[in-house]
Amino acid sequence: MAITIKDVADAAGVSTATVSRALRGLPNVDSLTRERIQKIATDLDYVISPSASRLASGRTGSIAVITPYIARWFFSTVLSGVESVLQNAGMDLLLMSVSTPDGQHRLPPAPRLRRRVDGVLVIALPPQDAQLHEVLGLHMPTSLIGLTMPDVPSVTIDDVLAGQIATQHLINLGHERIGVINGAPIISPYTAENDRFRGFGMAMKDAGLPIDPMLEAYGYFTIAGGEQAMTALLTQKNPPSAVFAMSDEMAFGAMKAMRSHGLQPGKDISLIGIDGHDMSEFLDLTTVVQPVQDLGRIAAEALVLQLRTSGGEVAADSIRLPTQLIVRGSTAPFKA
């Protein structure tokens, strides 16, 4: 019913092999022949059958993106970066979310990847996540975004540095009792939060400031969590004068908690986040901006490149993108 390569070949008076080569820009095709075939193909409105092509060639021309969340700012922003690159590269993007600690059960992604994609992009899964390891066990070209693992290419920011910059900013303003809103307590699953916390610790240590365990709260990277965490910090006998939230969304929640307590960010308590969330400017939040869309873009580009130059085992380098401190009204000098 649909028109096939055979139809084009017949119309052009050549073999299907030549059509295939001509259309794909392979060498050893006379340029006149090629042009003629291209014209005929467009005239006939021919579109190649991906399934047939994939079956014959063994390449799928598609990449899977595995993410724990779709409808969260960080993830959807990374995704948009990935999508733009893959679209330009002419690759299909298969979107697949995985079950999350707090989440619904879903099919494990690994089996759904086999024979189906050429490569995988994983966004910010905890390094010890079982599903992540299943995916890595597939041994297909893979790139990580927002998390790092030994021997796997990745694109992230320098989270330690980001934590350090954020904390240092508060210290520079004269704050000494600095609270921190972390992701999850005890063994935190994400590398990002560990690293940011390490950066926090380093900055504190460099400044000779003590780290009060009472000033650590957990916001689970959500707005509601940030609100609770801030509430916990505020209801202490000796609250902090400044708070470092490890994500902007938690900072938003923290702002809400402050407001409930009649406190004003930047006036009564300084607050800094990390992310550069769309709303951070709107809410006048000081933050360490990370180039989220670029995270996705660059990871996708690297993966596409690796697939193109396939076989040529690319070094598993981990790319770190720069961050930038944007000072806004939520942070201000310490006033005793």
Partner DNA sequence: ACCTTTCATGTAACCGCTTGTGTCCGGGGT
Partner DNA sequence: ACCCCGGACACAAGCGGTTACATGAAAGGT
Which residues of this chain interact with its own copies, rule CB under 8 A? 2, 47-52, 54-55, 60, 62, 65, 69-73, 75-77, 79-80, 83-84, 87-88, 90, 92-97, 104, 106-107, 111, 114-116, 223, 252-253, 256, 278-279, 282, 293
Distances 201 to 45, 93, 135, 213, 334 between C-alpha atoms, Å: 63, 39, 33, 11, 20
Which one, 21 or 169, has the nearer CB to DNA?
Answer: 21
Shortest reach from residue 214's CB to its own copies, in Å: 26
Residue that is written with structure tokens 């119309």 in the block: 11
Shortest reach from residue 311's CB to DNA, in Å: 13
Shortest reach from residue 42's CB to DNA, in Å: 14
* 90-94 contact pairs (CB < 8 A, 24+): 90/61, 91/61, 91/62, 91/63, 91/118, 91/304, 92/60, 92/61, 92/62, 92/63, 93/62, 93/63, 93/64, 93/65, 94/62, 94/63, 94/64, 94/65
Q: Residue 79: which of DNA, its own copies, none does it interact with, CB under 5 to 8 A by kind?
A: its own copies
Q: Residue 167: which of its own copies, DNA, none does it interact with, CB under 5 to 8 A by kind?
A: none
Q: Residue 96: which of DNA, its own copies, none does it interact with, CB under 5 to 8 A by kind?
A: its own copies
Shortest reach from residue 12's CB to DNA, in Å: 8
Shortest reach from residue 36's CB to its own copies, in Å: 21
Q: Residue 130: which of DNA, its own copies, none does it interact with, CB under 5 to 8 A by kind?
A: none
Largest pairwise CA distance in the chain: 88
Which one, 81 or 153, has the nearer CB to its own copies?
Answer: 81
State the SS3 of 231-262: HHHHCCCCCCCEEEECCHHHHHHHHHHHHHCC
Q: Residue 18: which of DNA, its own copies, none does it interact with, CB under 5 to 8 A by kind?
A: DNA
Do residues 218 and 225 touch, judged by C-beta distance below 8 A? yes
Q: On the CB side of 81, how many CA atoms lie within 13 Å of its CA?
A: 21
Beta strand segments in 21-160, E: 62-67, 92-97, 119-123, 142-145, 154-157
Shortest reach from residue 194's CB to its own copies, in Å: 26
Q: How far apart are CA 109 and CA 281, in angstroms?
A: 36
Shortest reach from residue 318's CB to DNA, in Å: 31
Which one, 55 or 279, has the nearer CB to DNA?
Answer: 55
Can you state the angle between helices 73-88 and 292-308, rounded to 10 degrees? 40
Q: How far apart are CA 210 and CA 177, in angstroms?
A: 8
Q: Residue 87: which of its own copies, DNA, none does it interact with, CB under 5 to 8 A by kind?
A: its own copies
Which one, 1 or 315, has the nearer CB to its own copies?
Answer: 1
Q: What are the DSSP calls for 289-312, one per residue?
A: E--HHHHHHHHHHHHHHHHHTTTS
Q: Residue 316: which of its own copies, DNA, none does it interact with, CB under 5 to 8 A by kind?
A: none
Which one, 61 or 189, has the nearer CB to its own copies?
Answer: 61
Residue that is written with structure tokens 């005793």 in the block: 336
Q: Residue 334: which of DNA, its own copies, none does it interact with, CB under 5 to 8 A by kind?
A: none
Task: Name the site residues for DNA (rule: CB under 7 A).
Answer: 1-2, 4-6, 13-18, 20-21, 23-24, 27-30, 33-34, 46, 48-49, 52-53, 55-58
Shortest reach from residue 29's CB to DNA, in Å: 4
Q: How far apart are CA 220 and CA 286, in angstroms?
A: 20
